[in-house]
Chain A
Amino acid sequence: MFVLREIAISLTFFVLLYCCLSLAVVFGWRRLKMLRLSQKSLADILFLARILPMLGSVSFTCAFVIPSFQLLEPRGIDEDTGILPVALGVTAIVLIALGCYRVFQAQISTARIVAEWLADAQPHQSGSYTVCSRPDVPPLTLVGLRNPRVLISDLTVGLLTEDEMGTALRHERAHISSCDNLKKLILQFCPFPSMAQLESAWAEATELAADDAAVSDANDAVDLAAALVKLSRLVPIRSAPICTMGFVTGSLGLRVARLLAWNGTWRQSPSFPAWATVCMLLSAVTVLVFTYGPALVITHEITELLIR
């Protein structure tokens, strides 16, 4: 009974915190777009905001709710759990199951479609990409989580010049180093309504960040813009699976306009400073160390309220 009560209380805390944090993110994330940061930092911050509800609620439950129950709840007393914790516990299980299902579904459907694309694919002699001849392959796309690779349709190979291909590949390599496919999969695990706009803002920021990483001078910028416009004319037959990063995504007009206005100043946009991250982490750890005991007591008082 003690263990069942502990599970119900932990799940209740988890789901309540998850919903509160998600609502805070839904209503507050637009302020993040006003930060004057590089697109890379903005993409990282938007991603962090999107996964914050899951990360925060899991961390809080594991760090406070479970220990407070273990340490402060008397084991001998047989208390009723109450309807509310049971109902919220079931909601939490449904939420977690939904997240797992979405991840599983995204992985399975992506793997199936990519396997079809790769059926008669040939790796290019340079080894940097794979050429696919099927008509439904997107012009240029990044697939795979552990061993990501760039797939290019044979139409694309004929359409782009060597320089344009070079910048387009650098763009995709930037997605590889940011693990963007993996991040897309992680987002599937955090379901909550009204997050679509935040996810699309994150996707746009990742594309702009990859553009920034691919370009080192004005000629590169023009080559990348030209590759974008050329490949936009190749209309994909079906929409791309979830865990892939297409080259022609986001607002085409914005991306091309940005590239044509390139003057070497992107790199001067401030990144989120590493020292600030370290300071924030150190402060959080210090506060946690000094307030952990009282925080456990308060958490346990709240759990008592929930049970009653």
Chain B
Amino acid sequence: MAIVIGILFMCATYLMLSKSILRIIIGTGLLSHGSHLLILTMGGLKGGSVPLLSDEAASYVDPLPQALILTAIVISFGVTSFLLVLAYRTYQELGTDDMEEMRGTETNE
């Protein structure tokens, strides 16, 4: 699991260092997937029954990381979709998807 997370972070970093907006957005998506998996791993991957109170099961899975991940997924989903729309609008307005050309120095306004 840790290795998977590492690979995800690696890809995310690589993608975010590139110039094209779309790659950067995919990078942020991967990064958030990585961090969600990280929460899951950090919560401890133990066996156990569903975290509903009943008499049969001896141990339960910790429900909190799952709740956290659910929240985080929803948020990152919203942000990513907003980002995609924004990137599209920016492309329409500025006619480029290259971050190098969006520097906003005084010569380039």
Judge: A and B partners, yes or no: no
Interface residues of A, Cβ cutoff 8 Å to B: none
